[in-house]
Structure 1
């Protein structure tokens, strides 16, 4: 039985000059909670509004699907090819994965301690000094929203590119679709994803099992196909692992190689999804951290094996970069497997990436819902509504799709994917690093460990994670060449800066007077499951 006070009306009070406080006038009600997950959620300040229909295995599959390894490698192969050739592909993937695991481990500890859909911005609010709690939550929340929406757009944009690549190959190059048709395909994909993401939790949970198995199968199939069908045309082991080719336009080879880190940084994003669906997961305090760690390790490892297979099968880096196809991976598969073989494998790549976009749409909608539940977004009263039929935030789903459609207008730029990928990585990893930074500084004594804890290792692991993110954010703000123009500019920093200017202006002019961080919708006096 849970004895609690359910708020009936809220108003602001300016009792102190340092922070705004919320007074809650409430009537006492008795709520029976039979689920220990909902009891823990109530301790964190929220009432359970979702059906807990994600199992541990389905949660892992969900996080794994969002990072769809075959789709990620196929979409970002050009990054490594340009920034170092074989070395850029192989080691440009492997090195960042080490640091990403540090970030994942720190996030897993936080998700285990505080399993709520609010996720990262909730973590920041609870770990920051009380005076700066609301500001830390505001910054983290807006960074995460920015990354989530641009990630949906960038994933679906690559699906559109994959479809145009398939069209070009099937017509033997007679039909090359440009930016306009590609944007039209993107809009159609967003529409279908909106319909899928509006489904009930049980349907979404079962679908993610299909997503996970298909993605893993397609990845393994591509690895085998590339290694077997390339036959004697494979390059030597020395070439595959040590050949460096700088095609960036930057004079310094070392700096050019560092730019290849963008590939795994974009591919291995979205694993915070396990935290964002924790209110829909059974045994969330245990399932969420397991899903974060297992999915990151699986995608990082399988991705590296696929990259190695690609490196062995790549006879000429310049030839791949000169392809008229939208994605060099399509050209490589065409060279190695022939037209029919390429289209067969490519169809599974398209499906895997399409399902990846659907999973990410769910994740982004949960972030929008949670942030709106704390009244942090314009029009929050609309975006925090739960559909009575599906018990999912359908309004938030369609907001994500509409915003992604606007971001997709960057598709008319020559660096569309680079800009979208960079913006999603900067936004997401800034939101990842903020609560981790607070964990190793002001929050050292505040965290109540959950079932998964780093113990005394939280400090070195967290410090490495924060330092790496700081480095990556600066790195991904640079263009791919020393000389650039408006068409070839990297617009990642422009997107992120625009959002942060809006968020900062909103904070200074208004939000600091009323936003208090996570806003409990249940104030518990006693927690006991029955």
Structure 2
């Protein structure tokens, strides 16, 4: 009979004994829980609670993300789109975050979402549930890296245009070149040892919060004389979307908060590098999402007061309307000063997202689910991080960046990343409140009797928002103005479906324990812990 027991060691660590033998690397309580989930520890646990919270918060990069997506609420409602288009989705996103925090606390592993699906699905459907969730998450992660870094490149081109008084306007090719340089620099940063990555997040969060507060104050103080009234800031509605129905047009404003409020599953994906992961990871998810929602709303309120004319802002010559707003309010020098800080925030947000995406790729490859998995699941002996997976993410993001030669296709990438990520969020939550209702052994963070109703709201919201994000920006569309998110998502779905039918269904069994040559989760009827 197979037994897992704890035996005392000379230190305060815990040593796991499996079939009478000590398991390599299992010398920490977190490693013990990880081993019970089926994996041996391969990373150094050097993220503290505060560093994990900083990572979860920084990956959403509130001021940079708002600056990247201001065009959506501006067109979809103007002042109402900015203020209420941000606030309304927040409680629904909190439901998604709370459900994920509960799952992460119970099963803190880098595999994250697709492991949750495997654990909670009926035994017969473990492989397909894991496969769908994993591919949706990988797609969203890589697309989000590209979307963040391409916007960072656009921010740099905006600064160049402002600095040259409009004399220098860089082409799409030059912007793509800047993107490649950013991706290479992020590849180097994300390949660093866990200790360095953890400390960097403290710097990230200081820059992020400091720049956000500075932007709010600057917009409110320096717009004196051109500020709109409180009534207009909160209630003036303008539809510039191309949709005749104002109610539907307003819903498109949700794109901004949904794009910003992504990536908070990062706390799950770095949980194998976190000390006290079952407690720290869910706290990081909830604090990160809550703080981003609050600060993002304050930024949009300040922007709404400072925006004298919605049409003028939308028709500005700069690639990003937020850059035009700062230029109008602060003048050239002030705009460049705050914009430079926002560029730094966007850069570190991309770096954090690169770490997150690489852990997802590593974990999926660890279970042999990716082509060339034996390369992507390797952990570098020197840094103890998945360096190969890091560079695969950067390469994938560079391919996605080719969409930047079409402004419409690039805008569609934001929607595709949200759809991919939120689909991977909703799948294990749906399984949690259906087939997995009695399977989950709660961790330190759990929702109790509220788990099912909160999960139901989360799943319903994701279903709604995924459909919404597939619609084009205007009522009448053509090849130049259509929403290509459906093309991107369907392309990945078709590939995943065909590879499943042709090959993967014959060999992919879901997450496989790497503690021994033992059977998969499906064959064991799930790991018990």
TM-score, length basis structure 2 = 0.94
Which of the residues 16, 19, 39 maps onto 1:2? Answer: 16
SS in 2 for 1:232: coil
2:233 to 231, 235, 240: 240
> Which residue is 1:515 aligned to?
508
Show CA shifts across 1:178-199 (max 9, x none): 2111111111110110010010
SS of residue matched to 1:3: strand
Partner of 2:415: 422
Three-state SS of the structure 1 residue aligned to 2:331 is: helix
For the 8 Å contact 2:99–2:429, the answer to whether it is kept is yes
Partner deviation per Cα, 1:137-177 (whole Å, 9 max, x = no partner): 00000000000000000000100110010000000001111
Match runs of 1:136-155 below 5 Å: 136-155=129-148
1:348-371 CA-partner distances (Å, limit 9, x unpaired): 000000000000000000000000
Name the SS of the counterpart of 1:415 in structure 2.
helix
Residue 393 (structure 2) aligns with:
400
Equivalent pair of 2:186/2:351 in contact (CA under 8 Å)? yes
Q: 1:89 to 1:124 in 2, by over 3 A?
A: same
- Structure 2 partner of 1:300: 293
Check the 8 A contact 2:65/2:260 in 1, yes or no.
yes
Residue 3 of structure 1 deviates from its aligned partner by 1.9
- 1:67 maps onto 2:60 in alignment: yes
User: Residue 373 in 1 paired to residue 366 in 2?
Assistant: yes
Alignment-derived partner of residue 251 in structure 1: 244
5 Å-filtered alignment, 1:41-120, equals 41-120=34-113
Q: Which residue of 1 aligns with 2:321?
A: 328
After superposition, the CA RMSD in angstroms is 1.4
Residues 354-503 of structure 1: pairs in structure 2 closer than 5 A: 354-503=347-496
Q: Is the 8 A contact 1:45 1:524 kept in 2?
A: no
1:167 paired residue number: 160
Q: Tell me if the contact between 2:23 and 2:515 (Cα under 8 Å) persists in the aligned partners.
A: no
Give the match's secondary structure for 1:46. Answer: coil
The equivalent of 1:183 in structure 2 is 176
The counterpart of 1:285, out of the listed 278, 290, 315, is 278
Question: CA offset at residue 32 of structure 1?
Answer: 6.8
CA 1:30–1:361: 2 relative to 1, 3 Å = closer
Q: Tell me, what secondary structure is at the counterpart of 1:258? A: helix
Alignment gaps of 5+ in structure 2: 1-14, 519-526
Q: Tell me: CA distance 1:110–1:138, structure 2 relative to 1, closer, same or farther (3 Å).
A: same
Q: Secondary structure at the match of 2:418?
A: helix
Instruction: Report how far residue 486 of structure 1 moved.
Output: 2.1
d(CA) in 2 for partners of 1:240, 1:274: 35
Structure 1 residue 414: deviation in Å?
Answer: 2.1
C-alpha distance in 2, partners of 1:194/1:370?
18
CA deviation after TM superposition for structure 1 residue 485, in Å: 2.4
1:82 and 1:102 map into 2 onto residues whose CA distance is 27
CA distance in structure 2 between the partners assigned to 1:160 and 1:40 by the alignment: 41
User: What are the superposed Cα offsets for residues 300-350 of structure 1, whole Å, 9 maximum, x if unpaired?
Assistant: 000000000000000000000001100000000000000000000000000
Instruction: Please give the alpha-carbon distance, in whole angstroms, between the structure 1 residues aligned to 2:23 and 2:252.
Output: 57
Distance 1:29 1:66 in 2: 37
Gap change, CA 1:247 and 1:72, over 3 Å in 2 = same
The answer (yes or no) to whether the contact 2:25–2:40 under 8 Å persists in 1 is: no
Q: 1:269 aligns with which of 248, 262, 276?
A: 262
On the 8 A contact 1:4/1:523 being kept in 2, the answer is no
Deviations 1:394-434 (A, max 9, x none): 00000000000000011011224421110100000000000
- Please report how far the alpha carbon of residue 493 of structure 1 lies from its aligned counterpart in structure 2 after TM superposition: 1.1
Query: What is the total number of aligned residue pairs between the two structures?
Result: 505
- Paired residues of 1:105 and 1:293 also in contact (CA < 8 A): yes
- What SS does structure 1 have at the residue aligned with 2:88? helix
Q: What is the CA distance between 1:2 and its match in structure 2?
A: 1.8
- Which secondary structure state, in structure 1, belongs to the residue aligned with residue 17 of structure 2? strand
Deviations 1:467-519 (A, max 9, x none): 00000000000110112222222111111110010001111111111101001
- Name the SS of the counterpart of 1:231 in structure 2: coil
> Shift of the alpha carbon at 1:284?
0.1
Does the CA-based 8 Å contact 2:16-2:27 persist in structure 1?
no
Alignment-derived partner of residue 12 in structure 1: none
1:320 and 1:331 in contact (8 A); partners too: yes
TM-score normalised per structure 1:
0.94
Question: Where do 5+ consecutive residues of structure 1 fail to align?
Answer: 6-26
Q: For residue 407 of structure 2, give the secondary structure of its aligned residue in structure 1.
A: coil
Partner of 1:309: 302
Q: Deviations over 1:11-66 (max 9, x none)?
A: xxxxxxxxxxxxxxxx9665473310000000000000000000000000001111
Secondary structure of 2:18's counterpart equals: strand
